[in-house]
Amino acid sequence: MTNLRIGHGYDVHRLTEGRKLILGGVEISWEKGLLGHSDADVLTHAVMDALTGAARLGDIGKLFPDTDPAYKGISSLKLLEETGRLLEKRGCAVVNIDAVLLAQAPKVAPYKARMAENIAAALGIDPEQVNVKATTEEGLGFTGDGSGMAAHAVVLVEKTGDGGKS
């Protein structure tokens, strides 16, 4: 059996006034921000969920419950670091990550490289292993009307050891 494992992550957060907009660990100046228990970084959450999927660690809601006061307002990059440590314990090394943000506005093209760098740094991998994309949904649905943002991520990991549990 191959030692390569794929994972897919998906997340959604509502946009609201009075919140900072944090995407891939980058604070973007915008009239609204994402609502959530942590910093609500939807892109980073999708990446984390893809990683936990590939490593069979369940999902991020199980790992970092939004009822836990320890995670209130926390930077999602911190949670991503912790996810990386859990993968390492399982003997899983990231091969590559591809993530896409679904947002009508603002334009995030100027920030994509920094987002990829932040994600890579949190996981201790090379920025070349991370790709961040963004798209609008042509004005359709909840991302199109500006009520929220969504993100998908797929990751490939390689099991380099049994990490104690296969």
- Partners of 135 in beta bridges: 102
Question: SS3 for 132?
Answer: strand
**Residue showing the smallest CB distance to Mg ion in the complex:** 45
What is the rounded distance in angstroms from the CA atom of residue 62 to the CA atom of residue 58?
7
**Judged by CB under 5 A, which stretch of 9-17, 100-108, 133-141, 156-164 contacts Mg ion?**
9-17
Preceding peptide of 106 cis, ω within 30°: yes
In this structure, are residues 32 and 2 in contact, taking their beta carbons and an 8 Å threshold? no
Angle 95-99-102 from CA coordinates, rounded to 5°: 175
Q: Which of 22, 26, 33, 45 binds Mg ion (CB under 5 A)?
A: 45
Tokens at residue 86, please? 């859990």
* Nearest distance in Å: CB 36, Mg ion: 6
Q: Tell me, by CB under 5 A, how many residues bind Mg ion.
A: 2
The DSSP code for 118 is H
**Judged by CB under 5 A, which stretch of 3-11, 21-29, 113-121, 158-166 contacts Mg ion?**
3-11
The verdict on 152 binding Mg ion (CB under 5 A) reads no
The verdict on 11 binding Mg ion (CB under 5 A) reads yes
**Judged by CB under 5 A, which stretch of 42-50, 65-73, 77-85, 100-108 contacts Mg ion?**
42-50
Q: Which is nearer to Mg ion, 11 or 52 (CB)?
A: 11
- Residues lying near Mg ion in the complex (CB under 5 A): 11, 45
